[in-house]
Amino acid sequence: MRGKKIDNEFLGEFIQECVQSGIDSPEEMVQRAKQQISSIDNAIKEIEIKKIRRSKLLDVIASFDKETKTNKNEEAKMLPFFKLSHPNICKRISDYLVKIPVNVKVLTNNERELDVMFSIKQMIECKIISKVGEHIVRGEMYENYRTFVLQEK
């Protein structure tokens, strides 16, 4: 063994362990060392298999964790829906839009105009509706609003 130093302290401890176990010939000590090496190699192989499984389990977690984060992001997008100041007016506006776009003047006929206009503004900010000229149309979050806030399918 060129260039490698022998750990004399370990060698002495190993010989002492062998003698205490009733092994006193060099051949038997070599055999015991080979058995321990084999046992250590098997343990390393088991650990390597576990490391591979661990890596795959982390992939599983990452896959499902993304869905959880996505769901949390989706839920976070819904939070502004619950901060609408006049939920009844917002529901009525949403009901009008189920079939066709609605003229703003139709919405302000029966209720206090300022409350309706404020509700329209809030709904536009939440992307529940969009304003095109004098008409109100469904926004990109309209269906989510109907599903999550109004509990419709």
pLDDT in tens, 100-146: 888 877 777 665 788 888 888 888 888 888 888 888 888 888 888 88
Helix (H, G, I), strand (E, B) or coil at 14: helix
Find out whether 136 and 104 touch, Cβ atoms under 8 Å: yes
Alpha helix segments (H runs only) across 8-133:
8-20, 26-78, 87-96, 104-107, 113-125
How far apart CA 111 and CA 109 sit, in angstroms, is: 6
Beta-carbon count within 10 A of 142 CB: 19
Reported as a pLDDT band with limits 50, 70 and 90, residue 26 is very high
Task: Say which DSSP state 110 is in.
Answer: S
Beta-carbon count within 10 A of 81 CB: 19
Q: Which domains are assigned to the chain?
A: 8-77 (no CATH), 84-148 (1.10.10.10)
pLDDT at 32 over 90: yes
Of the chain, the percentage scoring pLDDT greater than 70 comes to: 84
pLDDT at 15: 93
Nearest to 80 by CA among 114, 116, 118, 125: 125
Reported as a pLDDT band with limits 50, 70 and 90, residue 2 is low
Which of 76-80, 92-96, 110-114 shows the highest mean pLDDT?
Answer: 92-96
